[in-house]
Structure 1
């Protein structure tokens, strides 16, 4: 236990930084987009590549840790993660950043599951739940603090320091690491590596992750997505056949004979599936629809992450005193209730229901995640413990990736419907404006073009509906003045029964000046009245679009409520 007390802080720091870099990236995307002048679709790979490679590398790196030493693997992971952070922070373009993020993800895949195994192996059966509580709790803390720290650092020091700040912290962690953990005489197991099995499971996870992440962008029925899905299926079938025949399989399939492992794995996928919807969609809802800044949005969603952290810690400490099925069932029930509260969020920027709902979500997720994190390793030691942690981490990633894929697709359809409804409303609103028909036609054309562009763009959620207003150019005014002046001079000529050319030049200039003054006043008045009408109409349209977009998000969240309630049935698998 004394050994565990000295080692655990080192493992906690590594987990904190790796998990923080999952959430910290989202808050600085707009700044990076401006710095590199790239599309949001291209920049999204900075997130995707981290997620895909992390899920892909967990199992092979876990098995390598058994052969070459878990301590060495975590130390190597810290070095790799530090290098990736330095490259990402110093990136001069997007390709350079993608390489840095890829290196970061490989380091994180080396650190997170293996450090959990180190902590569990140093613990006793009695205090395993405390180790899980601390490691899982610090991961929740990292996710909670990530957006807020990222927003603060980016605002006052620049976005590059969001990644560069990892380097000195990792160096400090490495210095302590080599002091408290054995490297030279570390116990290892000379197991053979099933390289074919490793290649097949990596291909499976890579193709599956890629298909789920890009499905809603490339189209679920596109040749690329169907090819990736087919490749994932074939690779998985090949992996299962290989693992049954291999003398030293990558994953010991006897893990799945444990009901605790099977039930926990399914619960991990489900709870991360439900959590992923909130984590992926809520920042966009707050910034794009409710008009919050990135930092304000991060602060408003921090309560759910803090609730996750506290719930995971407390549940892990109490799990042996309470019925596991009761904890998991209560957790899924709270998740369902939390999304009901979240769906009551009004468009008027009143966040009471959101804050209460996200706290319930954090507590519910913590009840499920903490319980199954302990149950998933409860029956194993040695290599099986490593394998169970590797599979558990993959299942977490699959749940999160699946969530983003499913709910982004649903949201995309809901947003399209919201924009179509707003376009229909806009036509009605414009028809009621007290302006010239030519102005109405111009506004309708511009709004139709605006909504079409928004639908086809990568940034699908955007409530910026603007219209510059009506203006009359100097040339147009001059034309009107000249026509009105000629008409007025004709009247003067008829009155005095002389040709227009016989009207004295002074009088002609006086007439032109008077006409110019009257015409400009008339035009200014009409422009002012027209623009007032247009501002009123556009304000109504913008308000309706915000309401429709808010409703599009809430309808997406509503789908989770019955699914979370059905997930309570997972308790029968334990």
Structure 2
């Protein structure tokens, strides 16, 4: 136990950094987009590549760690992750960043599952639940902390330090690592590697993750996406067939004979799905729809992170005293209430309801995740313990990938409808403009259609890009209108006096020219001001309408899925009534 006290902080820090980088980019994507001049669609690969590679490598890396030494494997993973972080922060373009993020994800896949096994091997059965809760809890905490830390760091030091900050922390972890965990003469297990099973699992997870993440961009019914899903399904069937017949399977299918493991698997997918939905939508919602700063958005999400940390600690302490099913059920109920609150957040600057929803989601996630992670390893030892952790980590990533796919798909549909509704309202408003010519109305309508293009699903600063056009009249035009009015006035005076215009005294002509010029300019200025005010009012109305529609576009995503946490209660009976120690 004394040795574990020295090892656990090292493992916790590594897990925190790796999982934080799953979500830390969400808050700084607009800044990176400006720096690289890339579209958000292309830049999203910097997020996707980390998640996909991470999920793909977890299972085979869990086995390789047993063969080459778990301590060495985690140490090497920290080196690789730190190198990837440094390279990502130095990235001059998107290609460099994608390669660097891939390196990061390889290191993370080496650290996460093996850290859990190391911690469990060093703990007694009495302390096992606390170790699992601490490591698994810090992973959920890290995903939630990602946007918060990213927003604070980017606000004061720039987006590159979102990645540079990992480097000194990794170096610190490496320096302590050698003192608390042996790297020489480490115990290894000469297990045979199921290379075919590893290949099939990697193909399955890669194709499934890629299909889910890019389905919305490439089209859910496109040949590429359908092929990816077909490949994932076929490789999954082949993986199951092979694992049942090989002597040294990559994943021991006997794991799924445990009710606790099955219940935990479903619970981990779902609770990370609900966590991912918040992490995916809220940063963009707050910064691009409500116009808050990255720092304020980060602070508004902080209550969730704090609540997760506290809840995970408390759950690990009381799990033996309270029925496990009750803890899981209460957790899902709290997440359901949180989603209902998120679906009705008011548009004003009062974010009390959002903070309350944060806290409830943190409570719910902490209860479910801590319990599920403890029960996932409750019935296993040895190689099955390693397998259970690898599968559990994969399922956490599957939950996050599903969140990205489902939430972005629903949001895309909602944003498209929001723009259509706003454009329809705007066209009605344009048609009612009293002091605008038909040509000007047509020009204004074309500009609005370009700004509110329903075929574009980007939300970044959408409302702010709808700017008010300004009508101006040039000096030459003013002079031309004044001259025409002057000539008409001279002709009318000549007609009244029944004389030729040339016989009107020059002094009289100068007085008339001065008076007419002032009057014409005054009338033009008044009309321009009236017209610009009318246009400004129109644009203000359009921007408010767009903000209103986009607000509902985001919140309706939470509303449309608010039933799911309550439906998740159906998995509670899968767990055993009480875990057997």
Question: TM-score category by the smaller chain?
Answer: over 0.9
Unaligned ranges ≥5, structure 2: 576-581
User: How many positions carry a matched residue from both structures?
Assistant: 573
* CA-to-aligned-CA distance 1:8-59 (integer Å, 9 cap, x gap): 1111111121122222222221221111111111111111111111101101
For residue 483 of structure 1, report the CA deviation from its aligned partner.
2.0
Q: What is residue 259 of structure 1 aligned with on the other side? A: 259
For residue 317 of structure 1, report the CA deviation from its aligned partner.
1.7
Q: What is residue 124 of structure 2 aligned with on the other side? A: 124
Q: What is residue 365 of structure 1 aligned with on the other side? A: 365
For residue 86 of structure 1, report the CA deviation from its aligned partner.
1.0
For residue 520 of structure 1, report the CA deviation from its aligned partner.
1.3
* CA-to-aligned-CA distance 1:420-439 (integer Å, 9 cap, x gap): 22222223333444423434
Q: What is residue 519 of structure 1 aligned with on the other side? A: 520
Quick one: structure 1 residues 384 and 521, their matched pair in 2 at CA, closer, same or farther if it must change by over 3 Å? same
Whether the 8 Å contact between 2:308 and 2:365 is mirrored in structure 1 is yes
User: Could you tell which deviates more after superposition, 119-128 or 141-150?
Assistant: 141-150
For residue 381 of structure 1, report the CA deviation from its aligned partner.
1.2
Question: What is the DSSP-based 3-state SS (H/G/I as helix, E as strand, rest coil) of the residue aligned with 1:455?
Answer: coil
For residue 507 of structure 1, report the CA deviation from its aligned partner.
4.8
Q: What is residue 281 of structure 1 aligned with on the other side? A: 281
**Does the alignment pair 1:394 with 2:394?**
yes
For residue 294 of structure 1, report the CA deviation from its aligned partner.
1.4
Q: What is residue 63 of structure 1 aligned with on the other side? A: 63
Query: In structure 1, how many angstroms separate the alpha carbons of the residues matched to 2:34 and 2:567?
Result: 43
Unaligned ranges ≥5, structure 1: none
Q: What is residue 296 of structure 1 aligned with on the other side? A: 296
Q: What is residue 532 of structure 1 aligned with on the other side? A: 533
Whether the 8 Å contact between 1:415 and 1:460 is mirrored in structure 2 is no
Q: What is residue 475 of structure 1 aligned with on the other side? A: 476
**Does the alignment pair 1:568 with 2:566?**
no
For residue 486 of structure 1, report the CA deviation from its aligned partner.
2.1
* CA-to-aligned-CA distance 1:360-380 (integer Å, 9 cap, x gap): 011011111110000001111
RMSD, aligned α-carbons = 1.8
Whether the 8 Å contact between 2:58 and 2:109 is mirrored in structure 1 is yes
Query: In structure 1, how many angstroms separate the alpha carbons of the residues matched to 2:261 and 2:326?
Result: 17
For residues 237-386 of structure 1, the aligned pairs below 5 Å read: 237-386=237-386
For residue 506 of structure 1, report the CA deviation from its aligned partner.
5.6
Query: In structure 1, how many angstroms separate the alpha carbons of the residues matched to 2:112 and 2:317?
Result: 21
**Does the alignment pair 1:406 with 2:387?**
no
For residues 193-272 of structure 1, the aligned pairs below 5 Å read: 193-272=193-272
Query: In structure 1, how many angstroms separate the alpha carbons of the residues matched to 2:402 and 2:140?
Result: 20
Whether the 8 Å contact between 1:252 and 1:384 is mirrored in structure 2 is yes
**Does the alignment pair 1:493 with 2:494?**
yes
Q: What is residue 17 of structure 1 aligned with on the other side? A: 17
Query: In structure 2, how many angstroms separate the alpha carbons of the residues matched to 1:434 and 1:8?
Result: 72
Q: What is residue 111 of structure 1 aligned with on the other side? A: 111
Query: In structure 1, how many angstroms separate the alpha carbons of the residues matched to 2:501 and 2:354?
Result: 75
Query: In structure 2, how many angstroms separate the alpha carbons of the residues matched to 1:502 and 1:88?
Result: 84
The TM-score, its normalising length taken from structure 2, stands at 0.95
Whether the 8 Å contact between 1:133 and 1:313 is mirrored in structure 2 is yes
Quick one: structure 1 residues 200 and 503, their matched pair in 2 at CA, closer, same or farther if it must change by over 3 Å? farther
Whether the 8 Å contact between 1:137 and 1:310 is mirrored in structure 2 is no
Query: In structure 2, how many angstroms separate the alpha carbons of the residues matched to 1:311 and 1:363?
Result: 6
User: Could you tell which deviates more after superposition, 485-494 or 41-50?
Assistant: 485-494
User: Could you tell which deviates more after superposition, 367-376 or 407-416?
Assistant: 407-416
Whether the 8 Å contact between 1:215 and 1:225 is mirrored in structure 2 is yes
Query: In structure 1, how many angstroms separate the alpha carbons of the residues matched to 2:356 and 2:45?
Result: 33
Question: What is the DSSP-based 3-state SS (H/G/I as helix, E as strand, rest coil) of the residue aligned with 1:413?
Answer: helix
Q: What is residue 579 of structure 2 aligned with on the other side? A: none
The TM-score, its normalising length taken from structure 1, stands at 0.96
Q: What is residue 448 of structure 1 aligned with on the other side? A: 449
For residue 505 of structure 1, report the CA deviation from its aligned partner.
5.6
Whether the 8 Å contact between 1:140 and 1:306 is mirrored in structure 2 is no
